[in-house]
Amino acid sequence: MAQRYVVKDVKARLCYNSRGDPTIEADVTVGDSLGRAMAPAGASVGKYEAQALPQGGVKEAIRLLGQYKRRLIGLDTSDPYALNDELRKIDGTDNYSKIGGSTAFALTVAAADGAAKAKRVPLFKLLSPKGPHYLPRPIGNVLGGGKHAGKATPDIQEFLVCATGAKNILDAVRANTAVHKDLGKRLEKTDPNFTGGKGDEGAWAPRLKNDEALEVVYDSVRAVSDSTGIESRMGLDVASSSFWDEKKQIYDYSRSGVKRSAGEQVDYIVKLVNDYRLIYVEDPLHEEDFEGFAELTKKIKVAYVVGDDLLVTSPEKLRKAAGIGACNACILKVNQAGGLGDALRFAEAAREAKFTIITSHRSGDTAEAHIAHVAVATGSKMLKTGVVGGERIAKLNELIRISELDEATKMTSVDFQPSSQI
C-alpha cells in the first residue's frame, strides 16, 4: 500500500511582503516535515481575479482558519488538488471572497512544499512526476512605470528583457542583470537628476516619457547583446487597463499627454513590436477587449501576445480567448487563481489550447522560490520574476539549483513558435 502524506497540523500568521504590506503565511505539517508558504500581492490587479483577503484582512483570514482547520487535517498533500478542492467547498464563492485567495495560496503551496519535503523530491517533481522537465527562460523588468513606479515615470508599466540567446540559466541571469546595470548607467547620463530610484520590482524608475524609455532600453539591450555575445530581446507589460477610459473609450496616456482610440492602440502596439523587435507584449489592450486581442494577435506574427488581466489565470476565460484567437500566450499567477490546484488546472487548459505559459511573480512578493518549481512543473516557456532584489533573485537562484538536477537541465527555446509549448 502506497504511503500517504497527510496534513497533521495547520498554522497561520501575519507577515509582510516586499512592499511592507501585511500578508498571510501558512505552516502545514506533513509527517515529520514542515511546509511553509507566504502569499504575495499584486498592485496591478485584474478586476476578475481572486479576492486576496476577506473583509477584515489577514487577521480575519487567520480567525476563519481556526474555524475550518479540522476539515483540512488528514487530507492527502501529495495530491495538489485535494486541499484546494476542500478550500473551495469551505469558501463557497467564485472568487474566494469568504476566506481569501491569499489564504488558499498559502495553505495549498505550503501543503505541497511539505509533501515534497516528506517524499524527498523537488517540488516540481511532486507537481509533475512524469516530465519531461525544462527550465523556463527568465524575463524581468528593468525599467518601470505605471502602478509599479512614481507619477513622473512612463505610462507603460514594465519594460522587460529576456536573454533569448542564453545557452544556460547562469548566462540568462547574467545577461538580464547586465542589461539592468548598463541601463542604470545610461539613465544617469540621460538625466543628471536621476537618483537611482526603483519601483516595486527593482526596475529603474526614471522621469521619462514612453518613447524615451523605449529608446534607452532598446539601446541597452543591443549594447549588452554585443558585449556578452548573448542575444537579448525586449518585452513590454503595457498594463493597458490602468489607463483605459471606459466612458470616453480611449487609452489615455496621461503621463505622456497622448490619447488613442481602440484601433489606434492596436496599430501602436504593432508598430512597437516591429520597431523594437519585441518578443513579448503583455496586456496591450484592456482587460475586457477579447475581440481587440484577437485582431492584434492576427497582426503580430513574431512575438507573444500575452493575456494577464484579460485571463486572470481562469480556465474559462482562457477557453473564451482560445475560441476567438485572442492571445497566443498567458500569464500564470497562482494567487490570481487562488490555490495551487486552481493554477495547475489553468495550466492544463493552456496546454490544451496550445497557449504558451509564462509563470509570474507579483509586485508585492516574498523571498520564497516556489513559483520557480511551478514554472518547471507546468512547462512554462518563461518565468517572469524581476532582475534584482532579494525576493526576485530568490526565484532565479532556485532555477540555478534546479539546473543541477538530472530531471531539469535543458532550457526552453523562446524562438517564437505560437503553436508549440516547448
List active site positions.
201, 333
Name residue 244's beta-bridge partners. 251
- The separation between the first and the last C-alpha atoms of the chain, rounded to the nearest angstrom, is 36
Provide the total of helices (H) and of strands (E) in the chain, helices listed first.
13, 14
Distance (Å) of CA 131 to CA 78, 134, 169, 379, 405: 16, 8, 19, 9, 13
**DSSP element (H, E) containing 276:** none
Using CA atoms of 85, 90, 92, 97 in order, give the dihedral in degrees to the nearest 10.
-100
Cell of 79: 495530491
Rounded Cα distance, 339 and 88, in Å: 9
Q: Name the H helices within 69-209.
A: 82-91, 101-119, 123-127, 169-190
The C-alpha R_g of the chain, in whole angstroms, comes to 21
| Sequence letter at residue 219 | D
Sign of CA dihedral 262, 267, 270, 272: negative
Name residue 305's beta-bridge partners. 281
Q: What DSSP line would sit under 204-219, residue for residue?
A: B--S--HHHHHHHHHH
Rounded Cα distance, 340 and 164, in Å: 29
Q: What DSSP line would sit under 299-341, residue for residue?
A: H--SSEEEESTTTTT-HHHHHHHHHHT--SEEEE-HHHHSSHH
Rounded Cα distance, 336 and 362, in Å: 9
- Smallest CA-to-CA distance from 378 within 68, 128, 85 is with 128
Rounded Cα distance, 298 and 294, in Å: 6
Rounded Cα distance, 64 and 51, in Å: 15
Rounded Cα distance, 151 and 266, in Å: 25
